A and B are shown apart, each in its own frame.
Chain A
C-alpha cells in the first residue's frame, strides 16, 4: 500500500529555534499534501493544504509566516516551524494523496519546545 514517511519522529529543541519536518511519499506521487496538528487528548486539526508547485492554503487561525510549508516536488513536502515556542509543542502529522485517492498518513512528529 501507499506509504508516507515522516521525519523526524521526535524532536526536542529550545525556544526560539526553527524546526523542519519532512513528509515524503515513497511509492506514489502526492499531488496534495496536508499538515495536521494534534494537541494531547484532542482531535486532528488541519493546518494547511498544499498542492505541488503551488502556495499552501492555510486554515483560519494558522499563521503562514510561522508555519512555512513547501511542496516543491510530488514526493516531498516540508513544514518549518519558525521561532518555535512552548505553545507550538504538539504532534504534527502529514498526509499525502494522489488525485482522488484516499489520504495516506505519516507516522507523525512529536515536537517539544523547551
Chain B
C-alpha cells in the first residue's frame, strides 16, 4: 500500500522567510503532484513532476523530485501572506497497467504572518 507522508503538517512563518515542505512516499512512483487548497475551495494544481531530478518553479514556489530517495520538496522563497493555504502532495504509484489513482499526503497548512 502506497503511503505518502508530508512534513510538517502545520507551518507558521514570517513574511520574507524561506522554508521547505517535504513529501516522502513509500513505493515507486510514476509521477508526483503538488496542489494548493484555499479554505472552502477545491484543489489548484501547482506542479507535476515526472522524472528523477525534475525541478519546477513558479513565482516563489519551487518543487523538486528525487525518485531514488522517494522524496519531493516544495520550497518557499521569501514568503508572502498570499501563499497562506494548505499544500498537498499526491503520488501516482508506478504500475504497468497505467493506474492513475492519486494518493494524497495529509497536507501542510501554511500560515504566513506579516
Q: Is the CB of B42 within 8 A of A34?
A: no
B75-108 near A? 1/0 per residue, CB < 8 Å: 0000000000000100000000010111111110
Closest-CB distance, A34 to chain B (whole angstroms)? 7
A106: chain B residues at CB < 8 Å are: 42
For window 24-62 of B, CB contacts with A under 8 Å fall at: 33, 40-43, 45, 48
Interface of chain B, helix or strand or loop or mixed? Answer: loop
Q: Does A67 contact B (CB under 8 A)?
A: no
Closest chain B residue to A107 by CB distance? B42
A56: chain B residues at CB < 8 Å are: none
Q: Is the CB of A42 within 8 A of B100?
A: no
Given A49-B101, A100-B98, A43-B107 contact (CB < 8 Å): yes
Given A44-B88, A108-B41, A108-B42, A103-B100 contact (CB < 8 Å): yes
Closest chain A residue to B4 by CB distance? A43
B100: chain A residues at CB < 8 Å are: 32, 97, 100, 103
Number of A-B contacts (CB under 8 A): 40
What number of A residues sit within 8 Å (CB to CB) of B? 20
A110: chain B residues at CB < 8 Å are: 40
Q: Is the CB of A43 within 8 A of B88?
A: yes
Identify B101's interface contact among A34, A93, A107, A108, CB under 8 A: A34
A45: chain B residues at CB < 8 Å are: 104
B105: chain A residues at CB < 8 Å are: 43
B43: chain A residues at CB < 8 Å are: 44, 93, 105
A32-46 near B? 1/0 per residue, CB < 8 Å: 101000000011111
Closest chain A residue to B45 by CB distance? A102
Closest-CB distance, B9 to chain A (whole angstroms)? 10
